Amino acid sequence: MFASGPETGHENRGVSRPLLVPMRFIWPYGGSRVFLTGSFTRWSEHIPMSPMEGCPTVFQVICSLSPGYHQFKFFVDGEWRHDERQPFVNGNYGVVNTVFIARELDVVSPSLSPEAPSRSHMDVDDVFIRSEPVPTISDADLEVSRQRAATFLSRHTAYELLPDSSKVIALDVNIAVKQAFHILHEQGIPMAPLWDSFKGQFVGVLSALDFILILRELGNHGSNLTEEELETHTISAWKEGKVHLSRQIDGNARSYPRCLVPAGPYDSLKNVVLKILRSKVAMVPIIHSASQDGSFPQLLNLATLSEVLKCILRHFKHSSSSLPILQQPVCSIPLGTWVPKIGESNGQLLAMLRPNASLGAALSLLVQADVSSIPIVDENDSLLDVYSRSDITALAKDKAYAQIRLDEMSIHQALQLCQDANSINGQRCQMCLRSDTLHKVMERLASPGVRRLVIVEAGSKRVEGIISLSDVFRFLLGV
């Protein structure tokens, strides 16, 4: 079926060789050890593939191939595999993937010419990715998936989120704000419920957004809040002036959550999710009171979307086919925020910043764009890091906030202060590919501490979009 002439491997061993074209091979389905072999190695050599930084389930390798047809296959943890999302045929070595590399005379677009020395290796990948039809899902399958997910969430309660044992942190409204944010940083939590001992009730929450507003006020000329007052300024006093402060900073009447939005242990998971989405918070406290008037409340847990997502994955683990939407690549469904394509003007813009931008600019963007994180990219829009609201609590350590000016500190410098915080297995940036299925994305988002995935282009890590836990649940529930 294919030419039996000499094949070009991943090394240039000859003195006089035909034109070679760099081709990136990708195995995006995980594994411990992954190798590539094919007709270009005469099926005798196994080329090791390396996991992509920040995306350990994606393996890649670049080989220089001669123009023409090539067959290839992957050797994953001792088993021969092929990628069903790429072209494949039945060959002498079983089911194998195929790739065609055009000869110089066959090239249609100058951007694909092998002679262009400055072209990106990813240009080759883009051709093959775009030539593959993107699977679509019918409206009927989408409706069935949403209905079954909503039914599950409606029939199960927040009681199922309670762990056998755990530590739940609440803050007294009479402690100093500075001490409170130091606690958030030390405990690695984005927010904490507030307890008013005089009222005998939980009255609200303190979050990283509060600290952002405070730091912006400290840097605001003419502020009534000084660094000395921050040492003794109580949470209660801060909350009382918060709405006035937010109007003063933003110049509008935008209201930030002032009241506590709790859930009970017997509230449905759907109710818990909707409270989180509508309140735009990271978690809601699960509070139980044995009395009718709500006195003597008990704080049982802090419910997060991640925990609810784990419940969904557990329930549909052996019946994922009952949710057809799970097998769809995320690029084929209306999920998350994406970088607009050329010519597109509608949709929400994806906020990104360079590492040399000021911390003040980042905090302003977090507040005004109403986002929880900002991808930090280089001049090619390749992902370097992510700055999140919760990263701001790192400035509470050793009173770092008193030693800096927001407009003089760069994002790069700010990230150095929190490089060990908010990292998962040593990685701060959690990524996925546009070709990843919704099921795979949900599994990664269900990992402890992961709140969002940045969608990147394989190899270049150019940012294509971002998917958060909130995005997943808005999509599943159609809200």
At residue 423, the pLDDT reads: 53
At residue 47, the pLDDT reads: 92
- With cut-offs at 50, 70 and 90, classify the pLDDT of residue 139: confident
CA–CA gap between residue 311 and residue 309 (Å, rounded): 5
Residue partners of 324: CB distance under 8 A and separation at least 6: 137, 141, 142, 144, 145
What is the end-to-end Cα distance of the chain in Å, rounded? 51
| Same structural domain, 62 and 184 | no
Q: Tell me which residue of 449, 412, 457 sits closest to 431, measured CA to CA.
A: 457
Does residue 137 sit within a domain? no
- 403, containing H or E segment: none
| Same structural domain, 168 and 304 | yes
At residue 313, the pLDDT reads: 93
Q: Tell me which residue of 317, 311, 290, 312 sits closest to 161, measured CA to CA.
A: 311
User: The CATH number of the domain where 363 resides is what?
Assistant: 3.10.580.10
CA–CA gap between residue 128 and residue 70 (Å, rounded): 14
Over the range 442-453, which residues count as b (16 or more CB within 10 Å of their CB) and which as e?
bbbbbeeebbbb
Residue partners of 55: CB distance under 8 A and separation at least 6: 431, 432, 433, 456
Residue 74 near residue 80 (C-beta atoms within 8 A):
yes
| Same structural domain, 76 and 178 | no
Q: Where are the alpha helices (DSSP H) in 177-223?
A: 177-187, 208-218
At residue 420, the pLDDT reads: 53
At residue 474, the pLDDT reads: 95
| Same structural domain, 292 and 344 | no
| Same structural domain, 220 and 264 | yes
Residue 355 near residue 380 (C-beta atoms within 8 A):
no
Does residue 12 sit within a domain? no
Q: Quick check: 442 pLDDT over 90?
A: yes
Residue 282 DSSP label: S
- With cut-offs at 50, 70 and 90, classify the pLDDT of residue 64: confident
Does residue 111 sit within a domain? no
Q: Where are the alpha helices (DSSP H) in 340-468?
A: 359-368, 411-417, 438-445
Amino acid symbol at 34: V
- With cut-offs at 50, 70 and 90, classify the pLDDT of residue 19: confident
CA–CA gap between residue 355 and residue 360 (Å, rounded): 12
Domain count, the chain: 3
CA–CA gap between residue 72 and residue 60 (Å, rounded): 14
Q: Quick check: 116 pLDDT over 50?
A: no
| Same structural domain, 302 and 338 | no
Q: Quick check: 212 pLDDT over 70?
A: yes
pLDDT tens digit sequence for 351-408: 889 999 988 888 888 888 888 889 999 988 889 999 988 888 777 766 677 777 788 8
Does residue 142 sit within a domain? no
| Same structural domain, 227 and 347 | no
- With cut-offs at 50, 70 and 90, classify the pLDDT of residue 308: very high
At residue 363, the pLDDT reads: 87
At residue 448, the pLDDT reads: 83
- With cut-offs at 50, 70 and 90, classify the pLDDT of residue 242: low
At residue 303, the pLDDT reads: 92
| Same structural domain, 330 and 412 | yes
What's the whole-model pTM score?
0.69
The residue among 251, 285, 308 that closes a domain is 308
Residue 292 DSSP label: T
Does residue 106 sit within a domain? no
Does residue 198 sit within a domain? yes
| Same structural domain, 406 and 470 | yes
Q: Are strands 337-338 and 171-172 parallel, antiparallel or unpaired?
A: unpaired
Query: Which of 7-11, 315-319, 465-469: highest mean pLDDT?
Result: 465-469
User: The CATH number of the domain where 35 resides is what?
Assistant: 2.60.40.10
- With cut-offs at 50, 70 and 90, classify the pLDDT of residue 134: low
DSSP 379-444: TT-BEEEEEEGGGGGGGGGGGGGGG--TTTSBHHHHHHHTSSTT-BTTBS--EE-TTSBHHHHHHH
- With cut-offs at 50, 70 and 90, classify the pLDDT of residue 472: very high
pLDDT tens digit sequence for 255-275: 454 567 889 999 999 999 999
User: How large is the C-alpha radius of gyration of the chain?
Assistant: 26
Lowest-confidence pick of 200-214, 303-317, 338-352 = 338-352
Q: How many other CB atoms sit within 10 Å of the CB of residue 224? A: 11
- 204, containing H or E segment: strand 201-207
Q: How many other CB atoms sit within 10 Å of the CB of residue 327? A: 15
Lowest-confidence pick of 282-286, 337-341, 446-450 = 337-341
At residue 224, the pLDDT reads: 47
Does residue 330 sit within a domain? yes
pLDDT above 70: percentage of residues in the chain: 77
At residue 105, the pLDDT reads: 37
Q: Quick check: 193 pLDDT over 50?
A: yes
Lowest-confidence pick of 132-136, 157-161, 297-301, 380-384 = 132-136
| Same structural domain, 204 and 226 | yes
CA–CA gap between residue 67 and residue 107 (Å, rounded): 11
The residue among 258, 286, 308 that closes a domain is 308
Question: If you count them, how many residues does the chain have?
Answer: 479
| Same structural domain, 326 and 447 | yes
CA–CA gap between residue 88 and residue 73 (Å, rounded): 10
Does residue 96 sit within a domain? yes
Locus of tokens 């202060």: 417
The residue among 260, 284, 308 that closes a domain is 308
Here the tokens at position 434 are: 């546009």
At residue 291, the pLDDT reads: 76
For the chain, the average pLDDT equals 78
Q: Quick check: 415 pLDDT over 90?
A: no
Instruction: Over range 187-195, report the average pLDDT.
Output: 86
Domain that holds residue 209: 158-308
CA–CA gap between residue 254 and residue 132 (Å, rounded): 45
- 80, containing H or E segment: strand 79-81
Instruction: Over range 65-82, report the average pLDDT.
Output: 89
Q: Quick check: 310 pLDDT over 90?
A: yes
Query: Which of 129-133, 148-152, 345-349, 366-370: highest mean pLDDT?
Result: 148-152
| Same structural domain, 224 and 264 | yes
CA–CA gap between residue 474 and residue 278 (Å, rounded): 10
